Amino acid sequence: MRVIRGYKFKLKTTPELQRAFATMAGHARFVWNKALRLNLDRLERKAPIMWYSDLCGLLRLWKQSEEYGFLAEAHSQVLQQKLKDLDRAFADTFDKNQPLKKQPRFKKKGRDDSFRFPQGVKIDNRRVCLPKIGWVGFFKSQEVPGTIKQATVTREADGWYVSFQVEIELPDPVSHTESMIGLDRGVDVFAATSEGELVTPVNALKNALDKLARLQRKLARQKKFSENWRKTRNRIAKLHQKIARTRHDFLHKLSSKISKSHAVVALEDLPVGNMTRSAKGTLENPGRNVRAKSGLNRAILDQGWSMFERMLEYKLNEHGGKVVPVPAPGTSHTCSACGHTDPESRTSRNLFRCVKCGHTEHADVNAAKVILQRAKVKLAA
């Protein structure tokens, strides 16, 4: 079985290398923004947009022109990869199966600095050879197995990173367990299992909100683009980076633990995009309880439900297991003992007491058991 895995390392840069990276990222960003502007103008005129092959033809003309000749300094495939990304973004926008996908947006300097090499990348111990840049050292924390399919260089708050996407040949997966488990995801409890375990959430963003608010107030008082303003903005970026890494580490460890112990994981099929939509509404139809809904949206996104599900899917696949999504409606109001459904059975946030049979249990654990029961029915069908 062939699988795709990613490995990310921090690069050892010099001022000269940093300028080279920034220039390459700037050229890639320019191509994205120019092609996006072109297609948005065509959409306004109700003309068909230009797709990847047409844009590549334009790119050749831009590189030959006097005005945009500087693009010839960049690696041609780096620019083509940005056009591919834009092509995919527009395809997703027009995909009826992805109604929540938004129109591509313009990329900003310092926020969207990245570029990708689809080939020509070589690793020699603790160095990587990047086309048109040369050999660059990196902090190698683990081996990179398999065949490198592509490499992406990205600027983050504390420096430049390289991510390798590699293809690895693994033995065909055979699950060493027949265990099945149901998970009920939440906010106060990250996940309750059908085995009765309650997983405490890491709340990476929630725990950093006060510090984040203080830094943002400090930034607002400082003169824009001053040295102190830049330092504060960088501190905010590093805090966001820490929040993301804390969440990512928590989700990786939990998903690894579950995927190694169970062959089937049952989850509610949750439309997270719909659940976290803004409640502001419009001038004609203003939203209700906007502040409370905003807080709930932030809490849901802080948990990383979708990322957790993706991690479970690929890890279970490598272990010979699978994720079974089941319909979400009614799981919190259905009794896992007798199957009776009644909203009155959910007496509080944490307590479930069936009005028919009297079964009493932690509400989230009861829901996890119902989710598992639905998965078993689905698998037996």
Q: Which of the residues are catalytic?
A: 184, 268, 364
- Residues with Cβ < 8 Å from 232, sequence gap 6 or more? 215, 218, 219, 222
C-beta of residue 364 within 8 angstroms of C-beta of residue 189: yes
Sheet holding 114-117, edge to edge: 114-117, 147-156, 159-169, 2-12, 134-138, 127-130, 122-124
Specify the DSSP class assigned to residue 72.
Answer: G
Q: What's the full length of the chain, in residues?
A: 381
To 5 degrees, how large is the angle CA 83–CA 88–CA 90?
95
Residue 186 in tokens: 């939440």
C-beta of residue 266 within 8 angstroms of C-beta of residue 374: yes
Please, what is the angle between helix 76-94 and helix 15-44, to 10°? 40
Question: Residue 136, SS3?
Answer: strand
Alpha-carbon separation of residue 381 from 178, 199, 374, 376 (angstroms): 18, 31, 11, 9
Please, what is the angle between helix 52-64 and helix 15-44, to 10°? 120
